[in-house]
């Protein structure tokens, strides 16, 4: 039987288990970064019923995801001899998580301007076409030239709004994914009597279930 050590339980864990649990903890870390990003990036753009209350909830939940969950995961990975060098502070590095970040559904507006020189083609009609639809390839506010016959037109793609209901549905899916992740972590920790990981993952699971219920309650209120 393995001896339980409150602050140093990694000394009792076999190497195969360590490799497995570190991999799962790193996956959970990516998902926590995704969750934090998903709450923090949209809260200023919400529109619709209960927007103010939901924005406050998003702010508090983002703090949970980062300062409680993600920071503990980083500490535990380090305690077990793992490294997070392959997980940078960029969303692009988090895309390999088992439950990939579901991006918010934005409503976009296009600001088209036309600068005429000399004998020009006249007014520009939708000079940028669908260029704003391809969100991942653009930088906010970056001008695009769509020229013809001496007429130079610029296009700027700017975020307009995120409707509250759609945002709640997106974050519900993200929280459901987190719950699956922590249930799996708990089962894995129990298999090798890793009580430190098991206990904290149960605490985080309770947080995620609370987040999910709050999202569902807000959705019910506005539906």
Q: Give the number of domains in the chain.
A: 2
Mean pLDDT estimate for the chain: 74
CA distances from 44 to 17, 55, 91, 145, 166 (A): 42, 7, 19, 29, 15
**CA nearest neighbour of 149 among 114, 176, 180:** 114
Confidence of residue 186 (pLDDT cuts 50, 70, 90): very high
Please indicate whether residue 162 or residue 114 has the higher confidence score (pLDDT): 162
pLDDT above 60 for 92: yes
Beta-carbon contacts of 205 under 8 Å, excluding residues fewer than 6 positions away, are 179, 182, 183, 186
pLDDT above 70 for 122: no
pTM above 0.85, yes or no: no
pLDDT above 60 for 136: no
Residue 149 belongs to a domain: yes
Domain that holds residue 48: 11-103+163-222
Which of 161, 180, 206 is the last residue in one of the domains?
161
Contact 178, 186 (CB under 8 A): no
Residue 4 belongs to a domain: no
| CATH number of the domain where residue 53 is located | 1.20.1260.10
């Amino acid at each position: 039987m393995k001896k339980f050590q409150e602050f140093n339980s990694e000394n009792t864990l076999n190497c195969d288990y360590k490799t497995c649990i570190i991999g799962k903890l790193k996956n959970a870390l990516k998902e926590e970064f995704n969750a934090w990003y998903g709450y923090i990036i949209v809260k200023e753009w919400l529109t619709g019923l209960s927007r103010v209350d939901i924005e406050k909830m998003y702010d508090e939940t983002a703090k949970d995801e980062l300062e409680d969950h993600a920071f503990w995961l980083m500490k535990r990975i380090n305690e077990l001899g793992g490294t997070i060098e392959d997980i940078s502070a960029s969303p692009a590095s988090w895309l390999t998580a088992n439950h990939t970040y579901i991006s918010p559904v934005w409503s976009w507006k296009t600001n088209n301007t036309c600068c005429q020189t000399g004998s020009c083609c006249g007014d520009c009609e939708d000079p940028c076409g669908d260029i704003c639809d391809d969100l991942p390839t653009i930088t906010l506010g970056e001008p695009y030239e769509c020229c013809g016959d001496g007429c130079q037109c610029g296009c700027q793609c700017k975020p307009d709004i995120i409707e509250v209901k759609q945002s709640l549905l997106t974050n519900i899916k993200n929280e459901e994914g987190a719950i699956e992740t922590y249930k799996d972590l708990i089962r894995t920790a129990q298999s090798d009597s890793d009580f430190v990981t098991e206990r904290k993952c149960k605490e985080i699971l309770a947080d995620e279930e609370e987040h999910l219920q709050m999202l569902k309650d807000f959705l019910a209120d506005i539906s």
